[in-house]
């Protein structure tokens, strides 16, 4: 088993032939492997912080239409978002760091969506789930926002009507890859 989870190269994992049953270690040189096996790990603070961020995403509850049913199904035991550190759906925006907007956003709901987004602590990310949230879908009228990116900045767009739970898991993995590749822009004191 290669252990490759689709993560960028510094996070790709491999299990050597002689380590059957052992935890997979990062693909690095022999000195680094020996250091890890003795309990010493070296990395940068930026990589450590990004690892903590992408390993524990807490989504805010924001289901608006039929896509929300698929989002709830993704959190159930069959698809198990817990494998990706994304199982704790939070009802409070102050305890979440990723918003999954699932469904159509009406003109009346847009200010509420923005308020919830503004209440989330930094850093925060948004997944636009479904055709209605991404582009207005089949509702091309005055009452529906033609893309949630007109209200909040979106990191990952997820197409489909409604998208399958597997597609939402793929969007979470893509968001994790984006977070892992990110750089710390400022330090707050």
Residues 113-126: tens digit of each pLDDT: 999 999 998 889 99
Task: Please check whether residue 99 is in contact with residue 59, taking contact to mean a CB–CB distance below 8 angstroms.
Answer: yes
Banded model confidence at residue 186, pLDDT cuts 50, 70, 90: very low
Q: What is the pLDDT of residue 155?
A: 92
Q: Tens digits of per-residue pLDDT, 22-50?
A: 445 455 567 767 777 777 777 788 888 88
The C-alpha atoms of residue 83 and residue 64 are separated, in whole angstroms, by 25
* Top mean-pLDDT range of 40-44, 74-78, 148-152, 183-187: 148-152
- To which residue do tokens 């990310």 refer? 125
Give the C-alpha separation, 61 to 35, whole Å: 42
Q: Position of tokens 């000195």?
A: 31
Ramachandran class of 33: left when φ > 0, alpha when ψ lies in -120 to 50, beta otherwise = alpha
For 14, list phi and psi in degrees, rounded to 5. -145, 145
pTM for this one? 0.73
């Amino acid at each position: 088993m290669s252990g490759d989870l689709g993560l960028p190269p510094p996070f790709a994992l491999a299990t050597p032939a002689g380590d059957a049953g052992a935890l997979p270690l990062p693909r690095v040189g022999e000195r680094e492997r020996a250091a890890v096996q003795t309990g010493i790990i070296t990395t940068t603070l930026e990589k450590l912080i990004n690892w903590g961020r992408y390993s524990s995403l807490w989504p805010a509850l924001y289901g608006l239409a039929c896509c929300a049913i698929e989002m709830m199904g993704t959190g159930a035991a069959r698809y198990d978002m817990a494998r990706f550190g994304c199982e704790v759906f939070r009802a409070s925006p102050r305890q979440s760091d990723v918003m999954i907007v699932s469904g159509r956003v009406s003109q009346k709901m847009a200010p509420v969506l923005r308020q919830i987004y503004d209440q989330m602590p930094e850093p925060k990310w948004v997944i636009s789930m479904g055709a209605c949230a991404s582009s207005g879908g089949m509702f091309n009228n005055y009452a529906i926002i033609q893309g949630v990116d007109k209200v909040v900045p979106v990191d990952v767009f997820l197409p489909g009507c409604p998208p399958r739970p597997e597609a939402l898991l793929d969007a979470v993995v893509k968001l994790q890859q984006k977070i892992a590749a990110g750089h710390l822009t400022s330090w707050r004191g």
